[in-house]
Every structure is written in structure tokens, then in C-alpha cells.
Structure 1
Amino acid sequence: MKTTLHEDAVSAPLLSAPLATRVVSPRTRLREALERGGIVLLLIVLCAVFTWCEPVFLGVDNLFNILQSAAIVALLAVGVSITLAVGGFDLSIGSIAATAQMAASYVLVVWHGSAFDAFAACLALGVATGLFNGVLITRFRVPDQLATLGTLFLLAGLQLIPTGGRSLATGSILPDGTETTGTFPDAFLAFGRARWLGVVPVPVIVLAAITLVAVLVMEFSRWGRVLYATGGNETAARLAGAPTARYRIGAYVASGAIASVGGALIAARVGRGDVGAGHSLLLDAVAAALIGYAVWGLKRPNVLGAVTGAVFVGVLLNGLTMLNAPYYMQDFIKGALLVGALAFTFSIGRKTTR
């Protein structure tokens, strides 16, 4: 069908106008703001409610106590986020932390090692486990969840064998009947208990340093872009020349190393090797990492969002404890708030996209 020059001149601006300018209504702007900051807004609301009920909640000491209690979960959530970025999922991260704290305790109280030896043992364990996971996934083609689930059970059993299933401290009796005589040196305990300038706990400083490095690598470096490209479309990334297998292995090695730091923090804080440590770390870390999807509306795994999610959980548990909420209700309340917050954020984002 033919059109006249006049008709073309009139219709062209009408067709191109929506492409040139986008009229955003106030309602759409509000939805976009809620999508980006919904979790942060809810965090602020929680702090306001807890402060109204217990004014001491916003005290400096309590705030740093919250950060200290959330530091280990946040570290593990960072590791989970890195593996999620490459399309994987590290289910062994809680067992790595638990086994690392047992390894550090064994080095100190059985082998009479130094604080440096204990840290080195933790890192070696984390790197070796991450490498083991990566090789299973890339070389033997085992699916990520199944490979890391198998590693979870391996480590859960491994940490019990040297001590016969008992916790480990000075004076513990080993399966062969010998008594441990080593001690936790002050230099090691300071890693989990000391406060910089008498205010900032060392675990919070460790978390801040690792978070900063992880954010710089994941968001502003070529390595981070390749990691996300591998998770988005591994075949396309490989055809573009990226060594995707190496990056996947590197992601799991980084996850294991970060988890081992969390294990060292646990041992330094409690001053013994606790066989019960780490049982809830996996679920809390995964929850924090998944909350990170909703932070700032990114809808993808990201380090800063995972740390925000861990702080969110820490604030919620601390506030419920201060309000003397029954312990058997805390998990339910935590789950209800998390599900509600995520559903709200993602439903808002879906409407905005439409």
C-alpha cells in the first residue's frame, strides 16, 4: 500500500517519539525505587521498630555485636554468591567452615602449632576442598549441587574422625586415649575476640576487607565479567575464548578459601573445636545470598547484596532476641519476613518491567 510524503512526515514523529523519549509516571518511579531499595527499606523499618521497643538496640555496642554475629554468615554468603555467578551452587560451604575450625583446633591443641600454622591449615583445607569441587564439576561432569552435596557429607564425617565425634579443647581425650595439652594462643583468639580501638570487632574488619576485594573483582574487573558471562551462557563464553572451566574452578576455590576464613573465626571466637558448629551456617548463608538478588533490584548474585542479606538476618534475630521472642518462633518469623520481602520486591520488579 502506497503512502504520500505528507503521511510519512506525519507518521514518522509519532512512531519515533516513544523510542526517543520515555514518559515515566510517578507510580512507575515509585515501583522502580521500591524494587531497588525494598530490602534496605525493610531493614530500616525493622531497626526503627526494634529501637522503639528497646532503645538500646541502636547503641554502638549492640550494632557492632550484630555485625560481629553476622560476619561469618556474610563471609559464607559471599562465597555462595561467587559460585552462583558462574551458574553453580556451593552446598559444601558450611561443612568447609565447620571442618576448618576443627582443623585449626587440632593444629593448636594436638600438634602444639602456632596461630600462623592454624591459619595456614584452614586456608589449605578451604583451597583444597574448592579445587576438589571444581575438578568434580568440570572434569568429571558432576552437577554442581550433587558434587558439593557429596563434599558436604565427606567433610561432615571427616571432621569427626580425628576426635571420635567429640569437641576438641585443652584436656580433651582423643580416641587413642591420649590427652590434648596444647592451648589456643592469644594471637589466635584475638582474631575472633579482639576489637580495634576497643570498638570495632576484628571479624567485622575481616568481613569488610574481603567484601571490598570481592566487590572490586566481581563488579569492576575482567575476571568478574567473565565469571558472570560463564554463568549466563557458558557455551557462548567458551566460544568467545574464555577458559570457562578454569573460571568455574577458581570460583569454587575462592568460595572454599573464604569459608575457611569463616571457620578460623569460629574457632578463634569460641576457643575450641566444636563439632556442632556450622550446622545452620549453610541455610543462613544461602538465604543471605538469595536475598542479595533483590538488593538494589539487580536480580542476580552479587556480593554487596549478599552481605546486606546477612546483616538483615542478623538484625532480625538480634531484635527478636531483645524482645524475648520464643526461640521456637524465631525461624518462622524470619522465614515469613524473608518470603514476604522477596515476593514484594520481585512482584514490584515484574510490574515495572511490564
Structure 2
Amino acid sequence: MSTVVDRSSADPSSGVPPLGGPSTPAPGARHAPGSAEPDRLRRRATRLLAPGVLALIVLVFAILTPTFATGGNAVSVLSAASLVAIAACAMTVVVRGGGIDLSIGVAVDLAALGATALIADGYVTWFAVVVGVAFGTLAGVVNALLVTVLRIRAFLATLSVWFVGTSVQQLLTDGGAPIYLRRPTTPDSFAALGNATVAGVPLPVVVAAGVAVVTWLLLDRTRWGRVVTAAGEQRTATTIAGRATRPALGAAFVVAAAIASVAGVLLDSRSYGFVGGSGQAYVLDAIGAVFIGATLSRYGRPNVLGTLVGVLVFTILSNGLALLGVSYYYDGLVRGVVLVALLVTASVLARGTLGPSIRGLRRRRPAST
């Protein structure tokens, strides 16, 4: 009976590094007496690192500005995080399979363009939403063909789709002209998608929570998700075990684009229109959130819960800085510093020390004459 190889039992010579979690020791490796407990503590500390940073950020802003720790601001944070969370869930699917998707923003934009154009032409809401999601999913279909059929690396394939998708938007909108919806003529059902509330909670937040649950179920509770996970960590071993990795990985790009398309529909409903390139704002945040979230996993594996923590880290940082009146130009700087500090700390905790790397550099340094 064939089995799917997991990172916990994988051959360490495969060259697939963890994304930020603790590494698994090689088979047969011996530990020094008394080293088991420190290793366990380091693993636990690594997994608690991102939630700890999130809690620290919340505490700091709650002290610095009284308007931060209010119910209204909490709703504002969740609303701002909702679309990023959906895009990040899409990115989680692809990175879980060992790839990357730079065209997530294209899927968001194409879905927004399709839905907005149809609503502007007088079509009913359900039809505009379905066509918008299908239009955005086309980006994932192209990615799947490039990666699994033509065997182009995911980075290059999705970068190509990003270039093509950006040009398609410009061609379809006469050079990138925005499409605005008139509020009086916009169907209430379509406007409600991005602006309605459920028990005081914005509907996009509810949708994002539903997307997160569905993504978690797909990755952690289905056979397809197990194949995607195993292929992302040990593709050769998974193929030898008899699993069809290429169809599963191709489906990951399609699923990711479909998820991102949901964010596109909510975006144009919230803003009452389409502006070309708006989806690109979510790509880097989504990638950063996925890699922050991977530190929560024992195996450094991308996971939905960790991704949501990463999204909140970025969103709360931006929100807190805005409340403090800090210039927007510092936003990227602060988030970048926090991301680097968090990932470096996770790496140090996983390895135990930076000493081996420094000593290795010294050994490789040519002897002085």
C-alpha cells in the first residue's frame, strides 16, 4: 500500500528546507545528553513567536493611542484585513505545494473587472459574480498549464501571467481607465457584498472567515490536500509513492485563483468600481503573511491559521501607525523590519544559534599569506 511521505520522515538530502519552522533531525542523529528538553523548548518558542509578536504589537499600540483599543477600531482592522486574508489564503494553497504565485493580484483584478463591467451593463448580481470569479480563475488555469504541462518554474510562469494579465486589463479598459458604478443604479444585492454587516460584523469579514475554513478543510482534511502538502515537501518521494503530483499541483493554482477572485468581487462591490492594478497591493502582503504563518507549524509548513496571524500582524501595524499619525511612507519600512526580525528570530530558534553559520564562513575564508 502506497503512502504519502511527510516532512517528519522525509530524506533530509532532498534539499527542501522548512519555511521557518524547526528542522527535523536526520535519521540516526545523536543528541547530546540533556539536549532533548532545550530542543523542545526552542520548537515551542518558534511556534509561539508570531502570536507573541502580534500580542506585543497590540499591547504597544493600545498603550500609545487610546483610540486603538476600541470596538470601532477593531471592526475597522478586521474589515481592512478581510480582503488581504482571502488573497493570503489563496497564496497559502500554492506555497503549500512548494510553489509561488505572483499573479494572485491579476486574479483579483480580472474578477473585479468582469463583475464590474457586467453590473455596469445592467446584468443581475449572481450572474456578474459567477462570471467575475470565472474570469479571475482563468489566471490560475493558465498558471496550471504553464507549470504542469510545459514544466515552467512557478515563479517564472506566474510572473509571465502577471505581465500578460496586466496588459489584458489595460486593453479591455482603453488603457486602464477605471470603471465606476453609480450607486443609485447599482443593485442592492451587489452593493451589500462589500458593505453590508452581519450582527455588526462587515460581510467581507464573514466571507473571509468562511474562505479560511474552506481552505483549511481542503488542505488538511482532504486527500488532495495531503498530496499537495507531500508534493511541496518531497515531490520525488511522493511521486515514487504512486501519487499523481502534477494534477494536484495544477489544481492548486486553479483553486488559488478562484479564492483570490472572491476578493476581487468583494473589492469592486466595496469601492463601487474597478481600478486597474488594485489587486497587486495584496500580493506582497499575502506572501509575507504566509511565511510568517509557517513559523506556527512544527514542520515550517504554510497553514491557514498562521497565515491569518501574519495578515493581522501587517494590518494592525498599518492601522496603529495611521492612528499615531506616522507618515504612510514609513509603513513599508516598519512592516519590513518586523518581518525580517521575526523570520531571523525563528531561524535562530530553529538552529539554536547563529554560531555554526559564522564558523562555516570563517572556515571557508582563504588563508592569509
Q: Report the TM-score, using the length of structure 1 for normalisation.
A: 0.86
Residue in structure 1 matched with residue 248 of structure 2 by the alignment: 247
RMSD: 2.2
Residue in structure 1 matched with residue 215 of structure 2 by the alignment: 214
2:68 equivalent among 51, 57, 60:
57
**Is the counterpart of residue 338 in structure 1 residue 339 in structure 2?**
yes
Measured after TM superposition, the shift of residue 29 of structure 1 is 5.4
Q: Equivalent residue of 1:278, what SS? A: helix
Q: Map 1:1-354 onto structure 2 (within 5 A).
A: 25=37, 30-109=41-120, 111-164=121-174, 165-170=176-181, 183-197=185-199, 199-351=200-352
Amino acid corresponding to residue 119 of structure 1 in structure 2 = V
Measured after TM superposition, the shift of residue 184 of structure 1 is 2.5
Query: Deviations along 1:94-151, whole A, 9 cap, x unmatched?
Result: 1110221121111111x31111112101221133221221011111111111111111
Change (3 A) 1:351 1:23: closer
Amino acid corresponding to residue 188 of structure 1 in structure 2 = F
Q: Choose 1 or 2 for highest CA Rg.
A: 1
Q: Equivalent residue of 1:292, what SS? A: helix
The aligned length equals 324
Change (3 A) 1:31 1:231: closer
Quick one: distance in 2 between partners of 1:94 and 1:227? Answer: 22
Give 5+ residue unaligned stretches, structure 2: 1-29, 357-369
Measured after TM superposition, the shift of residue 297 of structure 1 is 4.7
Change (3 A) 1:70 1:22: same
Give 5+ residue unaligned stretches, structure 1: 1-17, 172-180
Change (3 A) 1:310 1:94: same
Does the 8 Å CA contact 1:37/1:297 hold for their aligned counterparts?
Answer: no
Percent of matched pairs sharing the same residue = 33
Quick one: distance in 2 between partners of 1:90 and 1:28? Answer: 34
Q: Equivalent residue of 2:280, what SS? A: coil
Amino acid corresponding to residue 346 of structure 2 in structure 1 = T
Quick one: distance in 1 between partners of 2:280 and 2:241? Answer: 41
Q: Equivalent residue of 2:114, what SS? A: helix
Q: Report the TM-score, using the length of structure 2 for normalisation.
A: 0.82
Query: Deviations along 1:141-191, whole A, 9 cap, x unmatched?
Result: 1111111111111111111222212100147xxxxxxxxx99421111111
Amino acid corresponding to residue 308 of structure 1 in structure 2 = V
Change (3 A) 1:282 1:24: same
Segment drifting more, 52-61 vs 253-262? 52-61
Quick one: distance in 2 between partners of 1:169 and 1:66? Answer: 26
Quick one: distance in 1 between partners of 2:63 and 2:248? Answer: 48
Does the 8 Å CA contact 1:108/1:183 hold for their aligned counterparts?
Answer: no
